[in-house]
Structure 1
Amino acid sequence: MLSSKPRKRLGYIPIGYKLMISYMIFIVILVSVNGYVSNSMYDSSMRKQTRMNIQGTVLQIRDNVAYKTDDLTRISSLLYDDYNLVEYLRRKESGKENDYRMRQIIIPKLENAAKSIGFNQRLNIYLHNETVHEVYPKQTYNIYHMKRIKDKAWYTDFPDEKYGLTMVWMQVEEDAEEEGISLIRRLVDTLNPLKVEELGMMRFSVPLKELFESVDFEKLGEGSVLTVIDSSGKVMYASGEFETGAGAEVEDNRYIEIKEKMRQGWTIVARVPVTIIAQEAKKVTTFIIGICVLCFFLFTFAGVFISRYFSKRITKFVSVLNAFREGDLHKRIAYRGKDEFSQIATALNGMGEDVGALINKVYLAQLQKKEAELEMLQMQINPHFLYNTLSSINRLAKFGENEKLQKMVVQLGKFYRLTLNSGRTLIPISSEIEQANAYLDIQKVKYGGRLEVLFDVDAAVWPYETIKIILQPFIENVLKHAWSGDRIHIRIVARKEEDEIHYRIIDDGMGMPMRKIEEILNPVNESESETGYGIRNIDQRIKLQYGPEYGVSIFSRRGVGTTVLMRIPAKKRKIQAKGTSGLNAS
């Protein structure tokens, strides 16, 4: 009798083999694509990074050169604006007075100016006043009479004087031979700027090698070239072998070229051969290929074993996880065994129960947290004006001004009735306007005719709601800090603009600088955080209630006034009030 064994179905492939085949295809594609993309991205990134590095180096070089040119400009400006020096240069003196001004005034000032520059240079002064003695040759400064240069082309062609601005960098006199360049500007009679009178010329001569000391091709790498080109395209200074010539086009596949302009009209040009990048890219390509091959064999070896182990188990877990991902937290997995998969199954089932409960708990906690934070900010509004108001009431009672006393008490009660508002956070805009008006009525008793207020409220805002008590603190801030005289005008604007409500509090007070506004809205230390606390309180309340895209902006100009803008979304009240009333002027 022949025994029969169960035969496998034709075309049957075990799940382990299916996983392995899929895994192999996936690995081949993944490793190949990853290697190609990694190589391409690295090459592109390396070129981009190299360009950025070159750009940064060139910017640093430009700043180093600019530092020296600015230093010369600064020293020349000190001489240009030195009223004492100008006064002595224009005097016609002789004898002891002349010796005194030379030894005690002119020469010390020129010596100090020349020596205060932190690099090699020479200061030449040319003067119309020939009573001032010529002093030469000196290492750091020389004094000449104008007759030495009055027929020189560089002097006769020098631009007309624009007070405090006219200065030129050029090669004059011995500069070309000594490979230098000069900063030239006039000395003028600054005592009468409406009628500029030329007293002479000053010329700071600097060696090009000293001025462009930081222009060094070695900072960019071997084979690189750094040049400084003037506005006419002429090469002033070069570091490295400049093969292509000044202003010539360079092929993209040969060089990376970076240009940076300077205020003087000069251009710093850096050229780096791409062969340096290509050599590095070749090394990286070889490395990436080796890594890809190694990863392929490692993944294949691991896949043979892992696919056999997980193929029978992973399907169950995937089905449960997919159910969880789709929101079905009630699905459970039945698994028997004593290995890690059993623990995972138990944990997964428990996680389904815990996550469902946790979602509900976290959702409620977040709501409570938001409400608590908003409540806290609401309670932090400081009605410190109450003390001042009670003091005013006491003073009115003392002097028997009963009518004003009654009016102030009524308005104070009205203000706090609107402020408390049955504990609600959101109120109609009409109530917020009414609350601000009640506060101003209290202040008018105190300030009288010195305070003028205009309400400019668009009727379109009445159907909408707002956070309470966001106008009053800004009005109080104006009355406390914005006075620049005996009177102040305040304009309160409410407008609906597209899907937003815009409040503006505008005053014609003293204004404040941008630095002060930045301290108020974004304090960087504890001492600054005490400034503008109430303003930040309102900004935080708006952002907490409506989102970070809303809040407070401040615009101010010293001596003109300040405008505070508050933006909130236009949200209609759930229950419309019976009738609305607007304020046009007060």
Structure 2
Amino acid sequence: MPTAGIPSKRPKYIPFGYKLMLTYMVFIIIPVIAIGFFSHSMYQDSIRVQTRNNIQGTLVQMKDNIEYKMADVVRISDMLYGDYSLIQQLRNYEKGWESYERTTKIVMPKFSIAVHSTGLHIAMFLFLANDTYPEVYYGSFAQERPDLLEGNFNIYHLKRIEEKAWHVDFPPEQFGETKVWQRVERDMEFKRISLLRRLVDFQKPLELKEIGFMRISVRTEELFQAVDYRKIGNGSALIIKDEYGRVLYRSGEMPPSPSGGPNNEAEYLTITESVGDQSWQLTAFVPLTVMERDSQKVRMFIFLICFLCLVIFTFAGMFISRYFSLRINKIVFVLNAFREGDLRKRMGYRGKDEFSQIASALNEMGSNIDRLIEQVYVAQIEKKEAELESLQAQINPHFLYNTLSSISRLAQFGEVDKLQRMVLDLAKFYRLSLNEGRTVIPIRSELEQVQAYMNIQMTKFGDSVSVFYDIDPEIVKYVTVKLILQPFIENALEHGWFGTPIHIRLSGKKEGDDIVFKIIDDGIGMSPELIRQIFDPVDGLNTGFGIRNVHSRIQLHFGARYGVTIGSRPGIGTTVRILIPARR
């Protein structure tokens, strides 16, 4: 069956006025934007180079500061490493009182002088091969506290660290050169780093013998105090890594990646400087937004110029095209009104140009089409009313004959009560069918007619026919085209009933701005082919004339989106759906 048509979407198009100004704007706006873009790009590159140079200079200053403090710690180790008198004392293996005298009056004062020779908070650990010297230390060797030892030193025997990996793997000695910065023992826990260096007997330069081992521990925060991300800008990060790629110090809050840098390093400018003799790397991660802040003023100025040009040229183009676009828009407006069914729209132009001729032709065309549609509409209404009268003329005599026959049988068998009810229902049915000649009637009257019809049928057939009403009381205040429900109930009894009892359900509800009726039966049903022939008869078949008549009258009065739909399955039953607008 045909379904209600859905209004097609209007195709999108560029207004005529915009088309007129498009070429004008393209040849003006695009060059301005291109010039602004390339100017900004060149300035951005210049800012980036300048920013890189500034940050590189800052990193060099940080590097120099770190190397200065590292050199200060190395200087302390040099004081002990090159002290010949200290080396001589450490080679002396005399025990007893002389050992105590050497320790307290010669060795320990030298260590104390070294510890206090710098402003750094250092803690010194000395491991001596000469076990005639007593061990002098604070706290526990296994649970050392370098933070509590700052400004002081501990003396241990070398055998305590003979199996320590950081001592075993220490590089071979090159006189005056071999020293390593490394985190050992609890340095990581206390955020420190240690300078490791041997004490050697250099009496025989070709046979440098280890007579002790120095470990000078210093705070990383103090050693790398100059490494401050705020010196290069908020959002930046500074990272120092050792020669093995391990992070020694970080300044700046930034989500780290496994490499130690930010997660998305593509969004950062990366600058690296080498620090000290250990191949440490000082790396700066500078967000590109820092550089963009420097170029923001120029960018905003360029964007402002482009925007002003866009506004000025747009208004100029609109002013130039206004004369033509207004006339075209009027024509399009009237044509759209014609397309939506409003043929009473008119337009007028002064002058004798092409637009005035088009307006005159459209006005005349609208009048002619409106008059023709009015004539066709009236003819269609008259035709459908004639078909309705013809249908009633065909149905009513047959229905009247059968009902009178039933009344005769009831009189013959003396069933007075049934006889009276049937006569009253028949009178009510025909009174409601006439409706004083009106085509549009209240839904209440339509439902009363259906009820009168069903009362007659139930009186005739008894329990073989039953009907259930599911009507929303709200809908009785609206109107409908007359005789749209009874033909479908009659069809269910005439064509869907085959011996066994039949049940019919009539429902009516308001859905949004529409009213939906459903006539549901459990009769023998219909095939899809039969339903198709009802709404689209072929080869002269006249199947379903009454259904088509109801469907056509509804669409003629209320529009193409309303009407009748049928769903059915053979052996199960049929559902008829009737859609009309909710009109008071």
Shorter chain as denominator, the TM-score bin is 0.3 to 0.5
With CA pairs under 8 Å and 6+ residues apart, which has the higher RCO, 1 or 2?
A: 2
Report the structure number with the largest CA radius of gyration.
2
